[in-house]
Amino acid sequence: MNINDRKNNWKPIVLYLVSVAVIIILANTFLFPRILNMTVTEVPYTGLLSMLEDASSPEKIKEASLDEDNRTLRFLTENEETKEKRLYETNIWPNDAELLQKLRAAGVEISVRIPAQTNPLLVFMLSWLLPIVLFVLLGQFLLPKLMNGAGGQNVLSLGKSNAKIYIESETGKTFADVAGQDEAKEALTEIVSFLHDTGKYKAIGARLPKGALLVGPPGTGKTLLAKAVAGEAKVPFFSISGSEFVEMFVGMGAAKVRDLFKQAAEKAPCIVFIDEIDTIGKKRDTGMGISGGNDEREQTLNQLLAEMDGFDGTKGVVILAATNRPEILDPALLRPGRFDRRIPVELPDLRGREAILKVHARDVRFAGDIDLNAIARATSGASGADLANIINEAALRAVREGRDAVSQEDLMESVETVIAGYQRKGAVISEKEKRIIAYHEIGHALVAARQKNAAPVTKITIIPRTSGALGYTMQVDEDEKVLLSREEAMIQLTTLTGGRSAEEIVFGSVTSGASNDIEKATRLARAMITRFGMSSHFDMVALETVNGQYLGGDTSLACSPDTSALIDQEVNETIRGAHEKALSILKDNRQKLDELAAFLLEKETITGEEFMAILNRPISLPEATAIPLGDGNADEQAQEKE
């Protein structure tokens, strides 16, 4: 320890002693005199006489003292009921010779003086000795923390990293607890091997990667992977969030970074995990002006860069970090020598989803055979956290219904709960609106079923959900798809316009029920033209950029206003073409549209098998039994055309 460190280590002690001395002096000046000294209350002379003459009063005068120089009389009273003592003082009446006789007659003890203060020894013990003892005991508890917190950095431990430390395998996680991320586990296995046996790597001259950056959407298991690496390697694991480096005091973030790496060096080999590193790792201000409020964050980032450069990679300290916004990180943080590896942790595919479901289903009791593959196929695009929630919702549903095991029906309902919310069984919807919703959903399903290569319909319902959906049609692809062809995109667009098309054909009017379909169709049609190169006019030109691909993928146009107008025109034409195709399909299958809508109105929820059975059987319902929403002209015209 150098001289400066010794001086800094004494600072907390000196500050504590000075604080204690100031507190004790102030307490003895203002607080203790009021508590320990009796308050003297002035009363008129007649008040004294009343106390002497009133035999019924419980407050009796016990002791009196005369001050002839000041012509005052001080007397002490005691309440016979509550034993409360009070001290009074009054000016005596001149030449009142009977006062002394009255005092003696009342049994009052005559004293030279009545002290207003309690026992001096007791006062000393309470006002000086007791506070010192209390502060010494408090110092035994606080001073070690203040000393450790000083460390040459600051006095009040504000520069401590506060990282959670898991010793060796205390994380309780291994690679067996991580499913659906085989590529990420493979990339991290080498780090585990190095931490297990550094000798064989040093013998050939290899260095351990200083850092690995885990990037991916929320809920894909980045934190779980980091804990699993520590569990497999059986080394200490430091876990801290990027937001914990942000402090209201200038310099505290940088101090926490220094302290974190100091602790890591002492416990090497170990793993340091920084979650949400984008909080402190954002690109630094490149403007020539004053950066203002970013100064503290940039100081923290600069200290992190310096520490990652400064520690010896051969000692076995590995930095793992996680983010879902890699595009905003500072380039200096991402260069080799700091974060040598960038490991994508993407949304799981079909096989990965099934493996994740099996991991989370290990501790759940199931009734009979459970088809987790069907659940995996129904949850395309779900993250590991979503799948864990689905298993838990299924278990909660089984408990609510009084069963001791989870069924396949519970799992399927939990999928819909996570996607669309809980059922609103008490929602009040008129028969007319129910009919509109039924035709709308059958419109989607019928258009999908009559198109080649469309995803099969698995469920149709008109039971409202808490997400705001009044009904929905579920389609599940038989196989996992990673590419989208133009034909498949047009099939999706045509299916999305099927609900609104059914409303137009049957009721001759439109409602707001297609608002979500319109949003999805517009988004897909625009992506086809601006990003997927599925436009004959623009060909393979990127007209749109994606921002935050792991956080919703917001887009922004990268073209001139004139080009933007042409894009809008082509989006309109694309959706209009899909809309016209959907109208054509529904008009050609009008009788099946009525028959299926009537069946859905009766059952409220039908399966894909029931839907296809009715669609493929001979027509059994008379034409056009629907009740028009408006004047019915469109319905009559449709019948005449048929």
Spatial strand order of the sheet with 164-166 comes to 164-166, 237-241, 270-275, 317-323, 211-215, 341-344
Burial of 374 (0-12, 13-18, 19+ CB in 10 A): middle
The 3-state DSSP class for residue 411 equals helix
Active site residue 327: no
- Supply 208's token pair: 């351990």
What are the φ/ψ torsions at residue 314 (nearest 5 degrees)?
Answer: -75, -10
Pairing of strands 341-344, 317-323: unpaired
* CA nearest neighbour of 305 among 290, 321, 287: 321
Distance, CA of 174 to CA of 195 (rounded, Å) = 15
- Supply 642's token pair: 């048929």
The 3-state DSSP class for residue 493 equals helix
Distance, CA of 155 to CA of 171 (rounded, Å) = 32
* CA nearest neighbour of 607 among 456, 388, 468, 493: 456
Distance, CA of 253 to CA of 255 (rounded, Å) = 5
- Supply 505's token pair: 């054909």
Q: At a CB cut-off of 8 Å and minimum separation 6, what does 192 contact?
A: 229, 232, 233
Distance, CA of 596 to CA of 593 (rounded, Å) = 5
- Supply 542's token pair: 């990127």
* CA nearest neighbour of 525 among 491, 563, 550, 481: 491
Number of residues that make up the chain = 642
- Supply 352's token pair: 């990965």
Q: At a CB cut-off of 8 Å and minimum separation 6, what does 604 contact?
A: 461, 462, 463
Distance, CA of 137 to CA of 139 (rounded, Å) = 5
- Please, where are the H alpha helices in 279-349? 295-310, 331-334
Task: Name residue 409's amino acid.
Answer: E
- Supply 398's token pair: 């089984």
Of 441, 504, 570, 595, which residue is the catalytic one?
441
Active-site residues, by number, are 441
